[in-house]
Amino acid sequence: MEKDNIISIAKSTLSIEISELEKLKERINDEFVKAVQLIHSATGKLIVVGIGKSAHVGNKIVATLNSTGTPSQFLHASEAIHGDLGVIQKQDVVLCISNSGNSPEITNLVSYLKDYSSALIGMTGNRKSKLAEFSDVILDTHVDLEACPNKLAPTSSTTNQMALGDALAVCLMEMNDFKENDFAKFHPGGSLGKNLTARVEQFLSSQKPQVSEDASIRDVIISISASSHGITVVTNNEKIIGVVTDGDLRRMLLKGDDISKVLAKDIMSANPKTIEKDVLAKQAMKILKDNNIGQLIVTENGQYFGIIDLHTLLDEGIN
């Protein structure tokens, strides 16, 4: 297949799905409001039920809801009728997802879902289905056209389901006043968690290069060479007064002056950028990027505490 044909097919797929999403947006009404209110006011959790492709969508919706403050659990429709219905408690709300609303597993299950829970929300593309008949609230996700060239494989329909699940999650986040700090509680690992919670001290270098303001050039070179940062901090009784980088040394040598009596304070850059050790690491990254520098001096109550390196933060996923 030619490149232009591939691009054309991809764009056509997206155009169809975007068109169906636009239609879905126009169907957001009081039924959607009622669904959000039922989930928000429930004293139990949300049970999301599905089968086939809708099951995959349901798992994603559950993952999104759990990570944004709405306790949820996925229940596979085929497993439900073989014993797993026991996970549903009377205080729970059930969201059942089925495009047709009439698959055998769903039709065998809907009466139990309604009886065992406080409310049944049906997310379906068929308002005349068995699922719709038993639902207290219907979320209409029907599509006029699947993006599949045979108009058979769930494409536009699963996109609608996924998008509507996101809309539920975002509304519930707002109603629960779910903030960045709350999000961090559920994402302690990975780059998301690190960016929301990690402090500068966690990424401190094991090296702490340091010279006094009266240190000789020889001592400065030894200090810089002993670490991997290409920098040493110039201090006066732990008070930071400047830094000397390997770039400062090169510029000094290019001048061609007698360096035998040059001291650290003569070539240092005064007032270097610093950050307190208990500040969020992402703030350190911002300072590094904004100032186009590779290292940042870390302080504790204004005193020299160590160094944090740009590459260390990048490796840890801080951005």
Four-residue CA torsion sign, 250, 252, 258, 262: negative
Lookup: tokens for 297: 């001096």
234 SS3 class: strand
Residue 238's Cβ-side half-sphere holds a number of Cα atoms within 13 Å equal to: 9
CA distances from 20 to 7, 156, 177, 221 (A): 20, 7, 30, 66
Annotated binding residue 56: no
26 touches 134 (CB < 8 A) = no
Cα 138 to Cα 111, 115, 117, 215: the distances in Å are 15, 17, 16, 77
Angle, helix 156-175 to helix 3-26, in steps of 10 degrees: 50
Torsion of CA 43, 45, 51, 55, to 10 degrees: 140
Two tokens at 291?
Answer: 């100032």
C-alpha span between 319 and 298 (Å, rounded): 18
Beta carbons of 178 and 227 less than 8 angstroms apart: no
Contact yes or no for 199/316 (Cβ under 8 A): no
User: CB neighbours (10 Å) of residue 177?
Assistant: 8
Binding site membership for Zn(2+): which residues? 76
Binding site membership: which residues? 76
